Amino acid sequence: MAFSEHLVITAITVSVAFSFVLHAYSKRKINASAFIGTLTLGALILFLFGLEFGYVGLLALFAFFLLGNLVTRYKYDKKLKLGVAEGNKGMRDINNVLGNGLSPLIFAVLYAISSQNTIFLLGFSGAVATACADTFSTEIGQAEGNPRLITTLKKVPVGTNGGVSSPGFGAALLGSSLISLVCLAFVSSNVETHIRITFFFVCLLAGFSGCVADSFFGATVEDRNPLNLNKHHVNILATLSGGIVAIVLGYSLGVGI
């Protein structure tokens, strides 16, 4: 793709993403801290990935932002009655931005300081796929599932840390697959089809694995001594896990971008 084409696509992506984030802020879907944090994260991703891949990274984050806000509305009244809905009618704050965006940012930094080793693009993709998988799993699973604790498989109340269900797992696969499709834009059109397919399934499995890791961390360390981690800390660990799984799988399978 020519320099001018990259520039045009980047400009369009930035304009659309900024418009939607501004709209979300005006509609009180995110507060001021989340608004500033989201814009800062997007700017850093653009800078670290450069002109070639910056717009793809931004597009992946934007897709997660949009999908996450949409799925939060799913049976919100029911989740509110159960006491598991996001507070303030689903409004996100800076903690949500850091919980889901810090790990992708780490992989972007690693890409930039490693002489642009593209394996870290896969790590970034796995981290964002994990964030989307976990959001889908939580928002849909809590509204539809009869959860069991992931460590013991005993039935637990909806909203219990580490609770999993079949609808939640299905939702996780859906969320991960949607981001994986977006992240295929990282792969050059000149790359062989089987590499593109492998890239997609690596991202998909990494996102799902990271979501499962989130449930495991929720059941074992969230709000528990001695670490007493909150859900945002657990999200960081889970998205980091998803990115690492993507890198390991991608390296093992010889995925080249």
How far does Cα 200 stand from its chain's mean position? 15
The region, left, alpha or beta by phi > 0 then psi within -120 to 50, assigned to residue 180 is alpha
Is 220:176 a contact under the CB 8 Å cutoff? no
Beta bridge partners of 30: 92
Asked if residue 123 lies in contact with residue 245, where contact means CB atoms within 8 angstroms, the answer is: no
Structure tokens at 178: 């949607």
- Helices of type H across the chain: 3-26, 32-72, 76-82, 87-90, 94-113, 119-144, 166-183, 193-220, 231-253
Q: What is the pLDDT of residue 90?
A: 62
**Number of domains present in the structure of the chain:** 1
pTM summary value: 0.94
Burial of 39 (0-12, 13-18, 19+ CB in 10 A): middle
Tokens of 161: 């840390």
Please tell me the distance from the alpha carbon of residue 204 to that of residue 209, in angstroms, as a whole number. Answer: 9
Helical (H) or strand (E) element with 148: strand 148-149
The pLDDT tens digits along the chain (257 residues) read 667 888 999 999 999 999 999 999 998 889 999 999 999 999 999 999 999 999 999 999 999 999 998 998 888 888 888 888 765 656 789 999 999 999 999 999 999 999 999 999 999 999 999 999 999 999 999 998 789 999 999 999 998 999 999 999 999 999 999 999 999 999 988 888 999 999 999 999 999 999 999 999 999 999 988 888 999 999 999 999 999 999 999 999 988 77
- Expressed as residue numbers, the domain containing 87 is 3-253
Which tokens hold the place of 67? Answer: 């999908």
Taking residue 4's Cβ as centre, other Cβ atoms within 10 Å add up to 8
Question: Which among 63, 86, 94 is positioned nearest to 138, based on CA atoms?
Answer: 86
Rg of the chain in Å (alpha carbons): 18
Name the β-bridge partners of 155: 148
* pLDDT value, residue 2: 66
Whole-Å CA distances, 147 to 73, 156, 213, 217: 20, 6, 16, 16
